[in-house]
Structure 1
Amino acid sequence: MNYALNAENVRKYFKKNKKIVHALKGIDLKIREGEVYGLLGPNGSGKSTFIRIASTLLIPDSGRIEIFGYDVVKEASKVQKLINRVSVEASFFRKLSALENLLFAAGIHGMSKKEALMKINDIVERVGLDKKRLNDPLENFSRGMQQKVAIARAFMTEPRMMLLDEPTTGLDPRAKREVQRLIEDMKHKMKATILLTTHDMEEAEKLCDYVAIIHRGRIIVKGRPEELKAKISDKVHNPTFEDVFMEFTGVRFDEAEYEEVETL
C-alpha cells in the first residue's frame, strides 16, 4: 500500500546542558491518504519534534520519513510542495491585515495577485472567516481568529497533507470548538490528509480516525479510538482515553506531562 506518510525507526536527540536528550526513540507510523491521524501525548513526549522532521524543518539522526513516496530529507523541496504546517504559535506580520498576510504568503509561492484574491475569497468562506474583518490588523484578532487565518494561509498552496501541531492549545473553549469543526471540514470538504499532534485526549478521540499514543519518545500503542478503548474494556467499565493512556503507560496523563516537562 502507498501511504501519505510512512515513518520508519525515526530517532532524534538533542544536547541540553551537556546532557543528551533522546526526543524520539525509533518512531514507526503509517498514515493512509485522506485520514486524520492523531499523535497524542503529553508535553515533551516528542510530538512536535516528529512533526518538525515531517515538515523538513529538522533532520532525523536516523530512520526516515516519506510523504507521498518522497524522502523528507533527500527530496525536501518536493515534500514542501505537498504539505503545509500550522503550529501552536503561528507567525504573522501582526501589524498587517489578514488580507495582506495572505497575499504575502501567496506571493512567496509565485501566485499572481488576481489568482491569490480568487483563492482567498474561496478559502476564507471555507474556514469561516468574516470577510468584513480581512482588512483589520492581525494584532486585533483573537487567538482563535488568528488560527483560522493560519489555516487559511496553509491552504493557499492546496496541500495534500496538513501538519497541525497543537492547533487548539491555549484557545478559549469557543475558539477551540470552531477550530475543531474546521479540522473536520478539512477532511470532508478539502480532502486533505491530516497529521494532528495534541495533548487533548477528548480532541484526539473526537477528531481522529486513528491515534498513536507517544510517551517518552516512543509509540506506546496505536489504533482506532474505539479499538483502543475496547482493548481495556474488560478491565475498565466505559473506558476513557485517560484510562487507555494509564493502562498502556502505567501513569496518569497529568503526571506524565509533569514528568516529561521536567525531564526535557
Structure 2
Amino acid sequence: MNEYLDKIVAKNLVKNYELKEKQGFFRPKKRRTVHAVKDISVEIPKGKITGLLGINGAGKTTTIRMLSSIIVPTSGTLTMDGVDAVANHLWVKERINVISGGERNLYWRLTAVENLQYFGSLYGVSGSVLDERIRGLLEIVGLTEAADTPVERYSKGMKQRLQIARGLINDPEYIFLDEPTLGLDIVIAKEIRALVMELAAKHHKGVLLTTHYISEAEELCDYIYVLDKGAMIAEGTKEDLKDLLGYERKVVSQIKEPDLEETLMYLINHSRGEHA
C-alpha cells in the first residue's frame, strides 16, 4: 500500500526570497535573503481536518501557497496522492481550492448563480454538470432562496457561505480554509464550522484550516501544526500539544487543564527562549 495515497505530503519544504534593498542613489542595491519557510513537513489526509496555527508572520500564507502549487518551493518535496505536485502543478490545481475569510473573491454585482457559473467555467465545468452542481452547492450552504440575488445585498455570513460554495465548484479533493469565520457573528460562525466538519466527515475532503480563533481549532482539528518565524515548533493532536505544556511546566496541585490558546502561546514563547 502506497503511504502517500489519499493525502498531501510535504517533506522538508523551504522557501527563500531574494530581496534587493536600496542603499542610496549611487550605491548598488544590497541583496538580502529572507527565509520565509524553514524545512517544514506536513501531511493533509483526506477525511480529516488539519490545523495550521501561528501568529502573523509565522509563515502560514507562504506554506499554503506552496501546498496549493501557487509558488514553487526552494527545496523539499511535495506530493498529492503520490503524484509530484511541483512537476504536475496544473493537475494539482484542478483538485484543490482555497477559501479565504472576509468578503474577497466574489463579484458583488453578480448573483450567486452567476458567480458560480463564472468560477465553474474557469475550471472547465459547464452545461448540465455545472447547473446541477450549482443547485447542489447552494442547497448545501443554505443559499437556494437567495440564488438570484446580487451578492452586494448579502450579509457577511451569506457571502462567506457563498465563498465556500465557490471553493467547492470544481469538486476539489482538498480544500484550504484561510480564516473561514473571520468577522462573522457567533451564530453564523457555528454554521460554518458545522459545514467544515461535514466536508471532511461526509464528503471525505482533505481540509487544511488556518484560524486565529483557537477555540475553532480545538473544536475542528484532528491534527495541528504550529509554525513560528517560518519553522515548525510543534505538532500533534490537541491532546498531544497540551501534554507538551503539561509535562514541561511545574506541577502544581489542582492546576486546571491548559486550553489550546495557553498551549499555543507557551510553545511560541518556549521556541523563542522566552518564558511567560
Range class of TM-score, shorter chain: 0.7 to 0.9
Question: Which of 42, 46, 63 in structure 2 is aligned with 1:50?
Answer: 63
Deviation at 1:36, TM superposition (A): 0.5
Q: Which stretch shifts more, 171-180 or 44-53?
A: 171-180
Q: Does 1:108 align with 2:112?
A: no
Whether contact under 8 Å (2:4, 2:80) holds in the other structure is no
Q: TM-score, normalised by structure 1?
A: 0.88
1:220 is aligned to 233
Distance in 2, matches of 1:17 and 1:167, equals 34
Which of the pair has more CA radius of gyration?
A: 2
Structure 2 CA distance for partners of 1:228 and 1:138, relative to 1, 3 Å: same
2:59–2:228: 8 Å Cα contact kept in structure 1?
A: yes
Match of residue 98 from structure 1: 112
2:139 maps to 1:119: no
Shift of 1:183: 0.5
> Are residue 11 (structure 1) and residue 25 (structure 2) matched?
no
Structure 1 counterpart of 2:69, which letter?
T
Structure 1 position 133, deviation (Å)? 0.9
Partner secondary structure for residue 91 of structure 1: coil
Q: 1:60 aligns with which of 48, 52, 73?
A: 73
> Do the aligned partners of residues 123 and 17 (structure 1) sit closer, same or farther apart at CA in structure 2, a change above 3 Å counting?
same
- 1:188 Cα shift? 1.9
**Percent identical across equivalent pairs?**
35
Structure 2, unaligned runs of 5 or more: 22-31, 250-254
Which residue number in structure 2 is paired with residue 232 of structure 1? Answer: 245
Where 1:168 maps in the other structure, the secondary structure is coil
**Which ranges of structure 1 fall in alignment gaps of 5 or more residues?**
256-264
The residue number in structure 1 matching 2:4 is 2
In the TM superposition, residue 48 of structure 1 has moved relative to its aligned partner by 1.2
- Once residues 181 and 17 of structure 1 are traced to their aligned partners in structure 2, the CA distance between those partners, rounded to angstroms, is 46
* Partner in structure 2 of residue 168 of structure 1: 181
| Count of aligned pairs between the two proteins | 252
Q: In the aligned structure 2, how far is the partner of 1:237 from the partner of 1:67?
A: 41
Rounded to whole Å, the distance in 2 between the matches of 1:71 and 1:199 is 31
Is 1:72 equivalent to 2:91 in the alignment? no
The letter for the 2-side match of 1:47 is: K
Matching residue of 1:259: none
Selected match of 1:159 from 164, 168, 172: 172
What is the one-letter code of the residue matched to 1:45? A
| TM-score of the two chains, using structure 2 as the length reference | 0.84
1:183-222 Cα deviation digits (max 9, x unpaired): 1111122111101112221111110000011111111110
Distance change (3 Å), C-alpha of 1:104 and 1:210? same
CA RMSD of aligned residues (A): 2.1
- My pick for the range that moved more, 69-78 or 86-95, is 86-95
Cα distance in 2 for residues equivalent to 1:229 and 1:223 = 9
Residue in 2 that maps onto 1:86: 99
Kept in 2, the 8 Å contact 1:41–1:215? The answer is yes
